[in-house]
Amino acid sequence: MVLGQNHGTKVETCPICHGTGQVKKNQTIGGFASFQTVGPCENCRATGKIIKEPCETCKGKGTIRKNVKIKFDIPAGIVDGQTLILTGKGEPGKNGGPNGDIYVDVKVRKSSIFTRNGDNIELTIPITITQATLGAKIKVPTVGGEDVDYDIQEGTQSGSKFTIRGKGFKKLNSSYTGDLIFTVQVQTPKRLSKEQRELFVALARTMNEQPPIKKKGIFG
């Protein structure tokens, strides 16, 4: 059965191209030089067949246009702007030929929490002044959705960086996984209750409120 043919009807060989789908044409330049070219047969649209009773749906073209949804897997570790090729999922080939391919350009949506740096993930986690001073167990979010418990040591300074191995992005087409690197940001309270203020005042009396300044010599 030929594409575009009504079921149960007959198809004839094109009398112009004799089933080849191509015709030869003689052309003359300036009335002197003549040459022969080969092109698609317009009578049968290069199919080599004449459909006497074309399909009512496709009007004899053999294909129809419609919107379809295609499900496909996104590989772990894919990079923004990378192209995926869906083999055989494109337009149908002419005259029953193989289907073409679909090229999918991937756009990775940015996160308000995580920043990607190669295969590593970076983020900033706020901690309180008491957590930084006394140490604490905090929960660190990961790109996998789960939280990881991490022990912050006492005396942690704002801007300190910590690394959790193997919690970053998986390298594309590899078993290697990057790391998660987070930076702590110590938050200073803007408002204190009366009791909290009294506690801070009492603490200040026990400490040198002006840290010693490291003086540099003339050679650094």
The pTM is what? 0.62
pLDDT, mean of each 10-residue run, the chain (220 residues):
56 86 76 72 81 71 77 89 90 76 91 93 95 95 93 94 95 91 93 89 78 61
Count the Cβ atoms, other than its own, within 10 Å of residue 4: 20
The separation between CA 56 and the C-alpha centre of its own chain, rounded to angstroms, equals 41
Task: Specify whether the CB–CB gap between 5 and 55 falls below 8 A.
Answer: yes
What the block records as the tokens of 76 is 């772990």
pLDDT at 95: 62
Rounded Cα gap, residues 28 and 46, in angstroms: 24
CA distance 3 to 89: 19
Tokens found for residue 84: 């995926």
Dist CA 204 CA 13 (whole Å): 101
pLDDT at residue 1, rounded to an integer: 47
Tell me what pLDDT residue 200 has: 85
Q: Which helix (H) or strand (E) holds 22?
A: strand 22-29
Are 128 and 200 contacting, i.e. CB atoms less than 8 angstroms apart?
Answer: no
Asked if 168 and 176 count as a contact pair (C-beta separation under 8 A), the reply is no
**Which CATH class for the 115-191 domain?**
mainly beta
The string of pLDDT tens digits covering residues 26-56 is 776 655 656 778 888 888 877 788 877 777 7
* pLDDT given at position 69: 87
What pLDDT does residue 209 have?
A: 66
Per-residue pLDDT reduced to its tens digit, 126-150: 999 999 999 999 999 999 889 999 9
Q: pLDDT at position 21, please?
A: 85
Q: Is there a contact between 127 and 138 (Cβ–Cβ < 8 Å)? A: yes
Q: Tell me which H or E stretch contains 136.
A: strand 136-141
For the chain, which residues make up each domain, given as ranges? 1-64, 76-108, 115-191
> CATH number of the domain at 1-64, please?
2.10.230.10
Question: Which amino acid appears at position 78 of this protein?
Answer: I
Length of the chain: 220
| pLDDT at residue 3, rounded to an integer | 54
Q: What's the number of CA atoms in the CB half-sphere (13 Å) around residue 170?
A: 10
